[in-house]
Structure 1
Amino acid sequence: MIKLSYLISTRNRLPYLKINLERLIAKVLPDEEIVVVDANSTDGSTLYLQELLKEGKIHQFISEPDKNQAHGWNKAMLMARGILFKKIIDDDVFDYNEIRKCADYMFENPDVDVVISSDLSSGILNYNNIDVNSSRLKHYKDWRAGKINCFSFSDVHMLVRKSILPYIGLYNTSFVMIDWEYSLRMSFLNVNISYYTGYNALNVGSPNNVSSTVSKKTLQNEAKIGQALYGYPGDNKSISFWSKIKIAIGKIIYAKPANTNTYHEINLTEIYNHFYERINKINSESDGQFITK
């Protein structure tokens, strides 16, 4: 029986895959699987992933065009065979020990549908700056207390029980900020969400990813839809707090960093080693606890 499915949806992100997927492969357990959906990459990713499948290092793989990022992630969710699934975004950083703490908690508490954790965020071009102050704990507590009927959070930190999918549905393919809408929908539908005060992931802003290139107008339009569907006003009535984080990350990664002339000069391996060291250190110095509704 597969207990946990790690899901990856990717397109033309080979440098990141080679760093982060190989770390996952080194950590995956016999009762876990790695599912990869590739959107017909043209940078060598497809051949790389096919070889990993042939070697048995990943467990399910398809490469075919998709309409948008929601379409790709929805394929991966439907392919998942695990009791739980966890998104692994190709350019973000994950602490698999913390992820398994969250998974074990869900196995011990079968009424829990979703676990999210506190947030860490940074950017490739400003990798020494890690934001530890973007927690959604206050909003989670307000939601839990019935003060608000929904709240937003990042799916970078989210584990989901697959059996809840018939109730919550898949990602909305008409949205760009798919995690924002999905989090509002989940909380609006009052699924049983637990909050882990540790950090199971570090959200990394990188050039040309969806989050860093989305326009403010798109975010504002989607915020209006969120207001209409779920009665969500946003943290300042016009655009959600989570959307503002996305814009801020985009500004950070396109800002000219100290001691870096061009993106091509970046040593991704060195930067990601730094990220993994930082998240491990942060978690070693914190005592993560679970808060449940």
Structure 2
Amino acid sequence: MKRRNFIATAAVGAAGIASSQVNAQKMETSKDFKLKNNINHSVCQWCFNDIPLEDFLKTLKDLGIKAIDLIGPKDWPLLKQYDIHCSMCNGAEISLEEGWNDPKNHDVLIKNYTEMIPKVAEAGYTNLICFSGNRNGMNDYVGLQNCVDGLSKIIPLAEEHGVVIQMELFNQVNHPDYMCDSSLWGVELCKHLGSDNFKLLYDIYHMQIQEGDIIRSIQNYHPYFGHYHTAGVPGRNEIDESQELYYPAIMKAILDTGYKGYVAQEFLPTWDDKIEALKDGFTRCDI
């Protein structure tokens, strides 16, 4: 009985210490929040969409964060009001599941992207997201060629306007059947298109789940990566010690490639204070 009491007391004590350490860490992050900005920081708005966009932009402005991801034309005027750059535009895609790998989507996608590319350029932005779509029984080589056939219709327009079309890599756990689920498949697509105006959005969270070896992939394939997203594995939550990736080392690997683009936080916050969680994420990536 004494042993049981000791174990129970020790467990409570350890939990209290851990909680105190987390609270102290949060206070320290809040007190000393000042960025070096060797990394160009951004954040995906959808992860914080319970905060009104204008309020969120005001917060980013106060924090010195200069960019936000995945915003469409409707909200670009609001971004400009707060001098926040759209580091990844959206609004031309059909859906994650219906993409460039299926020729039946090409007419709609070509129309959408032909209309959107000049708007992105006129607004002063560069990056525009796209998706491969699901396999639906399709062979990967066939899907790759279908993507080449469709995307090659819009790449000249993207080159003319200085817009970079970026296809996001996903994992099969969160997005079953999605075709662009491998760095190698995506790199092969980039090689076939042969344009600096088509690159991959390398989502670190997705690729840790799907294939791992994150730093080696960045070192080997960085010329084909045009944008990065973060999140903790497992769970897609904060990028702190509760998960398995060590983001300072990943950020160093990205910087060592000479990358000058944006890294966007795309984790789902679990802390009571979501902005403190976001500040913590920025701080960990701010090497």
Superposition TM-score tier, normalisation by shorter sequence: under 0.3
Query: TM-score, normalised to structure 1's length?
Result: 0.24
- Output the TM-score relative to the length of structure 2: 0.25
Larger radius of gyration: 2
- The structure carrying a bigger helix percent of its residues is 2
